[in-house]
Amino acid sequence: EVQLVESGGGLVQPGGSLRLSCAASGFTVSSNYMSWVRQAPGKGLEWVSVIYSGGSTYYADSVKGRFTISRDNSKNTLYLQMNSLRPEDTAVYYCARASRLDNYYYYYGLDVWGQGTTVTVSS
Amino acid sequence: DIQMTQSPSSLSASVGDRVTITCRTSQSISSYLNWYQQKPGKAPKLLIYAASSLQSGVPSRFSGSGSGTDFTLTISSLQPEDFATYYCQQTYSNPWTFGQGTTVEIK
């Protein structure tokens, strides 16, 4: 079964760090684009980051320079290292697989999602 | 960055109604537009990709159209399980961005 399971969320003080993990089963993380999306309480979805199968990484402006996306191929796991955390980073963080859904064009969609892990940044 | 604007922000509709949600982008994105459905406390679900292609397993009452900067998600006959929040997303260029969401409520 294709599945993503996030972990690592919790309560952290402003300025602190946290590393989120996303364990995949049923497919290979390194062969896919993988993304993080977050949702602040009562708010909409905010795209955070993506790592391409080739290793290129991209970030939302709101997290650039503070967050780092990575993967461990041996563990088939995606990570999000979050540093210099701010109260506005409080959210449910989802990992998702971004699949190429067309054989000709590079149409990608987030077709598999984890259940989410909650990060709270507060003193 | 590409800005996404959805309208309306919310709407009330009855079972059986035809519902249309619009997404406008700040620059042309060809057809690199996805639609998601999210129910409270749940992860989003991909409905439509490439502006008009139905994701596997999604009911045919959902359809998408548009290209360039203007896109539409249509639910042809609203069902009880369709009351949710809908988001558009562009994957034309990084950073990928989402619209602010449209909540479909029961009238």
Q: Out of A47, A107, A114, name the one closest to residue B98 (CB).
A: A47
* Cross-chain residue pair A44–B31, CB shorter than 8 Å: no
- Mutation target vs A (from B5, B10, B29, B49; most A CBs, 10 A cutoff): B49
Average pLDDT over residues A81-101: 97
Looking only at the bridges linking them, the beta strands covering A33-39 and A18-25 are: unpaired
Q: Out of A45, A60, A101, name the one closest to residue B95 (CB).
A: A60
Q: Across chain B, where does the E strand assignment appear? A: 4-7, 10-13, 19-25, 33-38, 45-49, 53-54, 62-67, 70-75, 85-90, 97-98, 102-106
A51: Cβ–Cβ under 8 A, 6 or more apart, which residues? A33, A34, A35, A57, A69, A70, A71, A78
Average pLDDT over residues B29-51: 98
Given a contact cutoff of 8 angstroms between Cβ atoms, the answer to whether B105 and B9 are in contact is: no
Instruction: Name every chain B residue with its beta carbon within 8 A of the beta carbon of A3.
Output: none
Average pLDDT over residues A49-70: 98
Given a contact cutoff of 8 angstroms between Cβ atoms, the answer to whether B32 and B25 are in contact is: no
Average pLDDT, rounded, for chain A: 97
